[in-house]
Each structure stands twice: as structure tokens, then as C-alpha cells.
Amino acid sequence: MDGSAPRRDGQESAESTSFVDRRTELAFGRRMLAGSRLVTLTGPGGVGKTRLATRLADRVRRTFPDGVRFVHLSGLDDPALVPLAAADALGLHQIADRLVIARRTAEGHVERILGKLGLNNRSQLAAWVTARR
């Protein structure tokens, strides 16, 4: 895919092609983020959702001291997997440690998710996710 790739390291994204003027959409995205911490961009493939999300994240990064995260949902064909994708992007265990939630509590949630997916361990989950990308 041409354009930019979301980065997980908190640095600005490198764009390989020019960004067509999307000031109106960027301003709207900023207003949406002022009222909600979760914003979802939807639309047909190829219209620039990822580019817009990446540019918006780069522009608002300083507003969110804990950072911004990109959750790529295009490969998911089951809505039940959205929470897993979000947990992966957010680093579930890192959150548990920072919020002083017991690791066992976080692991209990992961075990319940695995059970709902019919999997036995995280290795199976990793293989399952990889097969669907």
C-alpha cells in the first residue's frame, strides 16, 4: 500500500507519497478527539483512512501524554476480534502493570478470550492472528 505506515514507537510516521490537502478532515478529527478518546475511521478501501489517521495522530500526539495508538482492523472478519486487536495495540499487560491491576487478573481476561475463540494458549492465538493478516 502506498502512503504511510502506522508506527508503534511513538515517532512520527514516514510518508512515501504526498498527503493531499485534508484540512477539513483533520480539523474534524481533532474535534472528535477533543470529545472522545476513541475515534474510528470507516470507508471504502483506498480513500486514505490510514493516511488520515496517521497524520491526525502525529498532529495530536502532544495532547495525549500517554500516547496515541493505531488499531488496524482491516484484516478482521469477526467483530468479536476487535477487543483483541485493541488490547494488542495497547499492550494489555503493560496497562495492567501501570494501573496496578494484578497480572493474574489480566491473564484471567486473556484466558476467557482464548476460551471464546476455542484456543488453548497464546501461541495458538499468535498463529491464529498471523494466519488472518
pLDDT digits (tens, 9 = 90+) for 24-59: 999 999 999 998 878 888 888 888 888 899 999 999
What's the average model confidence in pLDDT over 113-118?
A: 84
Lowest mean pLDDT among 11-15, 19-23, 55-59: 11-15
Which pLDDT score is estimated for 8? Answer: 54
What's the average model confidence in pLDDT over 97-123?
A: 76
pTM confidence score: 0.53
Cβ atoms of residues 39 and 32 within 8 Å: yes
Which 3 state secondary structure label does DSSP give 119?
coil
Calpha distance 108→41 (Å, rounded)? 31
pLDDT of residue 127 exceeding 50 = yes
How many CB atoms lie under 10 A from the CB of residue 65?
6
Calpha distance 103→72 (Å, rounded)? 26
130 contacts: CB under 8 Å, gap ≥ 6: none
Which pLDDT score is estimated for 3? Answer: 43
- Report percent pLDDT > 90 for the chain: 13
How many CB atoms lie under 10 A from the CB of residue 29?
20
